Amino acid sequence: MTELEADPGQKPKDGDTGAEMSRLARQTAIRLSQENYSPTMIVGTLRLVEFALIALSGFVVHALYVGISYEGTLVYYLPAIFIGSSLAVLLIQLADGYQVPALRNALKTLPKVLSSWGISFALIALVAFFLKYSLVFSRVWFAAWFISGALSLVVTRNIVAYGIRRWARNGVMERRAIIVGGGENAKALIRSIEQDVDNDIRICGFFDDRDERRSPPIVAGYPKLGNIDSLTAFARMARIDMLIIALPLNAESRVLTLLKKLWVLPLDIRLAAHTNKLRFRPRAYSYVGAVPMLDIFDRPITDWDSVAKRIFDVFFSLLAIALLWPVMLGAAIAIKLDSKGPVLFRQKRHGFNNEVVEVLKFRSMYTEQCDPTARAAVTKDDPRVTRVGRFIRKTSIDELPQFFNVLRGSLSLVGPRPHAVVAASRDRLFAEVVDGYFARHRVKPGVTGWAQINGWRGEIDNDEKIKQRTACDLYYIENWSLLFDLKILFLTPLRLFNTEHAY
């Protein structure tokens, strides 16, 4: 559920409301709301699968023919299997066998793939010969491993080619792009992208503030979906990967105005350089097909980084639950004995990309005085808070059920803390206090975060506190790494001793 659907009464900021979206834009956004498969993830997964299949075929042949315990030969066979499989994947990579165009046509690229496997196999045999280990290996095993490895590559490649062609037809495997700006610049950009038949970019339409005289409603066959303000709402609803700004570099003020509005979105933002006469070094550009692009903003924590972070989240959340379940059970019993009502409290908060998520907490207020909207912040000696509630809030025990949010995928273990959808400072929404506030939603919110480590915890009763929190959140997003997450995670228990602002 999006922010728009969850809280229509919320005051808009930076075009976050969908009221201005055209009917066509809304229909397009709904059609593009399904997740797509990242080519980077598919290619990376294929590398792992092919490595595993080649290694598994070598081990299975050894187990069936030589025997696992036969005179300890596994000590020699396992390194050969591992090195041979790694070499095969490396050589296929060097032969461009993991490019998406190559994967689409299995028959055309099989000679390269099988040659890479043959060369890696020959290198293993050559090393074994010079190290005088060649007599250790069975010749039947060598031949059987080569044949079974080749067959596994042939079968895998044909399955992947079929899948990629099907995903391409269904629009599942693609990078979805929106053009910002219309007219002749956009037309030239679209034509340049379409000329590359192996390009994985799908253009979904364009947005422009100019009238139809300067920016016609159809450009190169693609519709104008709305103005820049409605683009923000569109990007919240649709699963878009990239924004391409089709404006000349000399339109500096207009480009800066656009970036000030758009940088809060969790997207790759590129400035097309196809019509600019100024040319930088080739390394200054990234490319969409053959079209040069200047990288303005990158979407944070994507592809394999997101996989690594998810594994990190699940592992440490399960570990925390295993260690802290007596504390959680004791808190639940104390809450039940202290006051009537449910043990858990659910509150709607902003999640990734401004989506509304339901966060779990131990109930710390009297049931009849609970505030699911968090319009009235908890203050010192707040009469709404129970006796047990004061203790679990000061010690942050009330946050422990959020580990289950992490396992469900709505939260991350480390990230910007999720704020209530109508959270305010002095009757002003946080987005009105902090310019670019919604940029903190470019990643999943977390159970703990860099702002909490730096002492920005508890009540937000003035503008400076939310500004400092947001600054810490943006620093975390720009400097994310697993080691940074680990540092925050291990510092969190130490920072909990500071209960000055925890009411």
| Per-residue pLDDT, 187 | 86
In the predicted model, what is the mean pLDDT of residues 114-140?
80
Residue 501 falls inside a structural domain: no
Write out pLDDT tens, residues 447-484. 999 998 988 876 676 788 888 899 999 999 999 999 99
Domain that holds residue 87: 39-170
For tokens 């228990």, the residue is: 493
- Continuous H helices in 274-364: 303-338
Domain boundary among 110, 144, 170: 170
What is the token pair recorded at 140? 């039947």
User: Tens digit of pLDDT for each residue in 387-418?
Assistant: 888 888 888 898 999 999 999 999 999 999 98
Coil vs helix vs strand at 365: strand
Please say if the pLDDT value at position 302 is more than 90: no
d(CA 160, CA 46): 8
Residue holding tokens 């009221």?
A: 19
Range from 135-144, 312-321, 381-390, 478-487 carrying the lowest mean pLDDT: 135-144
Give the span between the Cα atoms of 261 and 15, in whole angstroms: 8
d(CA 443, CA 266): 7
DSSP assignment of 309-325 equals HHHHHHHHHHHHHHHHH
**pLDDT band at 281; cut points 50, 70, 90:** low
Paired strand residues for 297: 269
Q: Are residues 343 and 486 in the same domain?
A: yes
User: Is residue 10 scored above 90 in pLDDT?
Assistant: no
Domain membership flag for residue 317: yes
Instruction: Go through the chain and tell me how many residues it has.
Output: 503
Residue 11 has pLDDT above 50, yes or no: no
H helix runs in 339-373, sequence order: none
The residues pairing with 357 across neighbouring beta strands, listed in sequence order, are 349
List the single range of 94-98, 153-157, 399-403, 485-489 with lowest mean pLDDT.
Answer: 94-98
How many CB atoms are closer than 10 A to CB 342? 12
Q: How confident is the model at residue 122 (pLDDT cuts 50, 70, 90)?
A: confident
Is the CB of residue 434 less than 8 Å from the CB of residue 466?
Answer: yes
Element (H, E) at 344: strand 344-350
Give me the mean pLDDT over the 152-181 stretch: 84
Beta bridge partners of 178: 243
CATH number of residue 241's parent domain: 3.40.50.20
**CA 453 to CA 326: how far, in whole Å?**
25
502 lies in a domain? Answer: no
- Average pLDDT for residues 43-53, to the nearest whole number? 91
> Could you tell me how far CA 461 lies from the centroid of its own chain?
32
Q: Which of 211, 207, 191 is nearest to 199 (CA)?
A: 191
Residue where one domain finishes, among candidates 265, 299, 333: 299
Average pLDDT of the chain is 82
Q: Minimum mean pLDDT among 7-11, 123-127, 274-278, 352-356: which range?
A: 7-11
| Average pLDDT of the segment spanning 92-116 | 86
Average pLDDT over every residue of 249-265? 80
Do residues 337 and 460 share a domain?
A: yes
Structure token digits, residue 72: 């300890």
Q: Are residues 178 and 277 in the same domain?
A: yes
Does residue 78 form part of some domain? yes
In this structure, the answer to whether residues 408 and 465 fall within a common structural domain is yes
Q: How far apart are CA 95 and CA 304, in angstroms?
A: 22
Count CB-CB contacts under 10 A for residue 276: 16
Residue 140 pLDDT: 83
Is there a single domain that holds both residue 441 and residue 370? yes
Domain end position, chosen among 250, 271, 299: 299
Q: How far apart are CA 50 and CA 157, in angstroms?
A: 9
Tokens of 389: 């509630």
Q: Does residue 410 lie in a domain region? A: yes
Q: Are residues 279 and 418 in the same domain?
A: no
As a whole number, mean pLDDT of residues 177-200 equals 82
500 located within any domain = no
Query: Quick check: 485 pLDDT over 90?
Result: yes
Backbone angles phi, psi at 107, to 5 degrees: -65, -35
Give the pLDDT confidence score for residue 14 in this predicted structure: 42
Could you tell me what percent of the chain has a pLDDT over 90? 25
Q: Name the domain count of the chain.
A: 3
- Residues 347 and 476 grouped into a single domain: yes
Domain membership of residue 45 (yes or no) is yes
What is residue 48's predicted lDDT score, i.e. its pLDDT? 92
Give the residue-averaged pLDDT of 44-48: 89
Q: Give residue 348's pLDDT.
A: 87
Inter-residue contact 5 to 421 (CB < 8 Å): no
Same domain, yes or no: 403 and 430: yes
User: Three-state SS for 293?
Assistant: strand
Per-residue burial over 385-423, b = 16 or more CB atoms within 10 Å of its CB, e = otherwise: bbebbbbbbbbbbbbbbbbebbeeebbbbbbbbbbbbeb
pLDDT tops 50 at residue 8: no
> How much is the pLDDT for 482?
93
Between 14 and 103, the higher pLDDT residue? 103
Average pLDDT over residues 225-239: 85
CB contact set of 202 (below 8 Å; sequence gap of 6+): 171, 174, 175, 176, 177
Average pLDDT (190-201) is 79
d(CA 120, CA 112): 12
Pair 463, 329 in one domain: yes
**H or E stretch at 287:** strand 286-288
Q: Which residue has the higher pLDDT, 347 or 131?
A: 347
CB 79 within 8 A of CB 140: no
Same-domain status, 160 and 112: yes
- At 130, the pLDDT band (50, 70, 90 cuts) reads confident
Determine the angle formed by the axes of helices 387-394 and 303-338, rounding to 10 degrees: 150
pLDDT attached to residue 1: 32
pTM, to two decimals: 0.77
- Co-location of 25 and 54 in the same domain: no
CA-based Rg of the chain, rounded to a whole angstrom? 28
Same domain, yes or no: 335 and 416:
yes
Dump pLDDT digits (tens) for 63-101. 887 665 555 566 777 888 898 899 999 999 998 888 877
Please compute the mean of the pLDDT values over residues 323-345 and round it to a whole number: 91
